[in-house]
Amino acid sequence: MGFRGIVFALVMGLSAAGCSTSAASKPTKGTAAKTAASSQKTGSSLEAFQKGTLGKGGETGPLADVNFDFDRYSIRPDARASLKQHAGWLKANPQVKIEIEGHCDERGTSDYNLALGVRRADAAKQFLVASGIGSDRLSIISYGEELPLCKEQNETCRAKNRRAHFAIKTAPTN
């Protein structure tokens, strides 16, 4: 098993471990009020995180994916607007740490796409750092072409796969 196989097995194992269930705790008096206040403060991303849907790809909220042009890692104008919103949300939630994942479409070699994914993730990270987010809150990883959102063989689908994805590593509190 090569390096890619080991990395893929590790990612899949960690994903499966994150799907385990635990006993539900009974809500205590005041829990609903705290939850409502939290949702208002942090927005829909807290609700999505609690439901397990934030960080799954293709979000349209405060941490929506940003896309890249073919074979490029420069931040597009539409991505700049999204990243500014991300920075605002991260400033409002200073306890949150995220991992920025770089993704590519299937064109190019695996090694090339892994390197391009790193450059895409780093470009997004550098934009957020320049926007006032501490680099200690941001980590990067590349999945190259390994985790596509869309598997169809057309340009619309490929464009969805050329992205930086923002996975929350430390949940919003409050």
Residue 125: CATH number of its domain:
3.30.1330.60
Decide if 54 is inside a domain.
yes
Decide if 20 is inside a domain.
no
More confident residue, 11 or 126: 126
Total domain count, the chain: 1
Decide if 96 is inside a domain.
yes
Decide if 93 is inside a domain.
yes
Decide if 21 is inside a domain.
no
Which residues is 142 bridged to in the sheet?
Answer: 102
User: In 10 A of CB 39, how many CB atoms?
Assistant: 15
Q: Whole domain around residue 48: which residue ranges? A: 39-170
- What pLDDT, on the 0 to 100 scale, is given for residue 2? 55
Give the span between the Cα atoms of 79 and 55, in whole angstroms: 18
pLDDT 10s digits, 54-92: 444 444 567 999 999 999 999 999 999 999 999 999 999
Give the span between the Cα atoms of 8 and 147, in whole angstroms: 9
Decide if 98 is inside a domain.
yes
By CB atoms closer than 10 A (0-12, 13-18, 19+), residue 125 is buried
- What pLDDT, on the 0 to 100 scale, is given for residue 53? 42
Decide if 5 is inside a domain.
no
